[in-house]
Structure 1
């Protein structure tokens, strides 16, 4: 009889352990700075697909993005303020409206060095915060030095 009870308790603990670890990770990340829900589009091959739910936070001069369902404490994507430019925003369309957070907006950012674009989905208030954060960089910080092979 005791063997069955012990086995059942072990199974329950093993099932609940990942959820407890995800909760503890989110609590730890929240304690490191303001955290907000933010989805990231990892691939843009099919319109409306490729979104991964996550969370983001501002840390110094960077916007850090973390996957929601990961135990990694390091961000999967980092957007430096000096090298990131706001391109535009739009409402989710089609499948995006179902897959993303309710009442979210999709923001497109561009890497100033490579020209690569990235799409993030976040609440409207967070879009305003992101735009303010990008625009409030100290004077001269948006200057990107010329590459080594460019004269001048």
Structure 2
């Protein structure tokens, strides 16, 4: 009985170490990408909804957002650059952070980020290439 208990506990400890290493590697990879920034997100459920910590990244045509406490390889959310509109911005109690209310399509959501990341977000939205239609 003692041998089996030791094997089970050892297996659980090994699994915890492997999961911790995978999570650490994922977070280092995401935060090391070009255009990535710390970004909390909250959906349109109102002020009572909880914040979810994450990493945002500016892509060519989309803003990608990954949950911090996840092992997912794909982003949890993404919003099209052309559809993304900043509705409002206000400073937060935490120095150097801003609360940004955004709309994309019919969805309204809030993001928290540093002032520098906010400057990057507005620049990224404004620098979108103009939509070019086919010329006949």
Give TM class, smaller chain.
0.7 to 0.9
User: Which of residues 99, 103, 108 in structure 1 aligns to 2:101?
Assistant: 108
Contact in 1 for aligned 2:100/2:111 (Cα 8 Å): yes
Structural mapping, 1:48-127, within 5 Å = 49-92=49-92, 103-111=96-104, 113-114=105-106, 116-127=107-118
User: Which of residues 104, 110, 128 in structure 1 aligns to 2:119?
Assistant: 128
Residue 73 to residue 6, structure 1, CA distance change in 2 (3 Å): same
Correspondence for 1:27: 28
Correspondence for 2:19: 18
- The CA deviation string for residues 62-110 of structure 1, in whole angstroms up to 9 with x for no partner, is 11000001111111111111111111111236xxx5xxxx632111111
Contact in 1 for aligned 2:31/2:55 (Cα 8 Å): no
Residue 103 to residue 49, structure 1, CA distance change in 2 (3 Å): farther
What is the CA–CA distance in structure 2 between the aligned matches of 1:51 and 1:36, rounded to whole Å? 16
TM-score of the two chains, using structure 1 as the length reference? 0.71
SS in structure 2 of the partner of residue 106 of structure 1: strand
Range with bigger deviation, 119-128 or 32-41: 32-41
TM-score of the two chains, using structure 2 as the length reference? 0.78
Q: Shift in Å at residue 28 of structure 1?
A: 3.1
5+ residue gaps, structure 1, are 144-152
What is the CA–CA distance in structure 2 between the aligned matches of 1:39 and 1:15, rounded to whole Å? 26
